[in-house]
Amino acid sequence: MANCIRCGRQLSGFNFGKKICPWCVQHEAQQRGELGEDAPQPVIRTPWVRRSESTITLTQIFFGINVAVFLGMVIGNGGNPFQDFPGAELVRWYANVGVLTLSGEWWRLLTCVFVHANFIHIAFNMWCLWDLGALSESLYGRWTFGALYLICGLGASLASVAWHPTGLSVGASGAIFGLAGALIAAFKLGEFSVPRAALSGPMRSLMFFVGFNLVYGFLPSLFGSGGITDNAAHIGGLLTGLILGALIALLAPRQEHAPRRVAIFLVTLLALAGGAISLAHHYSIPLRLGPINFGQATKLTRNVSAGRIAGLL
């Protein structure tokens, strides 16, 4: 569907080649003095600027949860915010540990999104979340943004477990990559009626964000230093976001299409659940829900703490 060349609003399907929307036609006629001063001029909000439902945004809530968890970890680990948390501490705060997750502690796929390994880790992720989350929430609306963020986080965590099932991963960047993927798909497929001039800047920023972080994530392995960036989670979150963004743009582009969006999210969750079950079956782990016994947990925690952390989102 075409967009108005003046304001970017979406034109109706029966515009017969017109390139300017009725709102702009009337507005320009009034500016030329062709309409009386008492002629009604409808006030239509700019479609790409959506107001938050309240003064406190969901982006701020997610930001606050991450910071609160980090402060709790700092207090419980000696009070030094600039030291790296040991593996055992990350496990205790529900990091995504492949063996524990696949053995029944499935909630780690989501809780790990709110856990970070050190100050630099959380500072960079929260900087990205503050900007990208605000943009996503303003465009999608609160509940769609929240579902996107959490489901992309699940997709990122599942990809991380699939790539290194004995590793440990924490952080919000997989979910943030998902937001970037959803926005890229939405902009490319024309979900938001944003003028081309206003679109070019965000698109360049998104592509740079994704490209830079993926390249940076591969650099340690290329140089043999065995870095701590979990590109499996980044790619998993990005792909989940691209798929969700494309489905919403094609099937439920408007906020009044809420039932369709709910269906899209439910189908995606079922697909992720199926992937998790298949992964557990692949590693011959009995399917169950609940914490593993204390002896197993202690042994696994000791192994993680003594060994190299396989990845940090």
Beta strands in 126-256 (DSSP E): 168-169
**Residue 231 pLDDT exceeds 60:** yes
For 255-276, what is each residue's pLDDT tens digit?
889 999 999 999 999 999 999 9
Other CB atoms within 10 A of residue 154 CB? 25
62: pLDDT confidence band, cut at 50, 70 and 90?
Answer: very high
Q: How confident is the model at residue 219 (pLDDT cuts 50, 70, 90)?
A: low
Identify the band that residue 71 occupies on the pLDDT scale cut at 50, 70 and 90: very high
DSSP 20: S
More confident: 55 or 62: 62
Model confidence at 47: pLDDT above 60: no
- In the chain, the domains with their CATH numbers are 1-44 (no CATH), 58-306 (1.20.1540.10)
- The DSSP secondary structure of 109-164, one letter per residue, reads HHHGGG--SSHHHHHHHHHHHHHHHHHHHHHH-HHHHHHHHHHHHHHHHHHHHHH-
By the 10 Å C-beta count (0-12 exposed, 13-18 middle, 19+ buried), 35 is classed as middle
* 234 has catalytic annotation: yes
pTM for the whole thing? 0.76
Q: Is residue 310 predicted with pLDDT exceeding 60? A: no
Confidence band of 237 (pLDDT split at 50, 70, 90) = very high
Q: Could you tell me which residue, 195 or 117, shows the higher pLDDT?
A: 117
Assign 202 a pLDDT band (cuts: 50, 70, 90): low
pLDDT (average), residues 23-34: 71
Q: What is the pLDDT of residue 307?
A: 42
Q: Is the pLDDT of residue 191 over 50?
A: yes
In angstroms, rounded to a whole number, what is the distance separating the alpha carbons of residues 157 and 232? 9
Q: What is the pLDDT of residue 226?
A: 43
Q: Determine the pLDDT at residue 114.
A: 97
Strands (DSSP E) found in the chain: 96-97, 168-169
**308 pLDDT more than 50:** no
- Annotated active-site residue in 157, 234, 278, 305: 234
Q: If we measure between CA atoms, which residue out of 136, 110, 147, 135 comes closest to residue 263? A: 147
Percent composition of the chain: helix, strand, coil (DSSP 3-state, to 5): 65, 5, 35
Name the DSSP letter for residue 250.
H
pLDDT of 98 reads: 85
Among the listed residues 298, 310, 189, the one whose alpha carbon sits nearest the alpha carbon of residue 244? 189
Cα angle value 266/156/246 (rounded, 5°) = 55
Q: Are 183 and 135 in contact (CB under 8 A)?
A: yes
Tell me the per-residue pLDDT of 150-170, one tens digit each, with 9 for 90 and over: 999 999 999 999 988 888 899
pLDDT over 70, % of the chain: 70
Tell me which of 103, 169, 173, 193 is the catalytic residue.
Answer: 173
Strand partners, 122: none
Spatial separation of the C-alpha atoms in residues 194 and 183, rounded to whole Å: 12
Mean pLDDT of the chain: 79
| Distance (Å, whole) CA 41 – CA 19 | 20
pLDDT of residue 2: 59
* DSSP bridge pairs for 312: 229
Q: Is 173 a catalytic residue?
A: yes
Determine the pLDDT at residue 36: 64
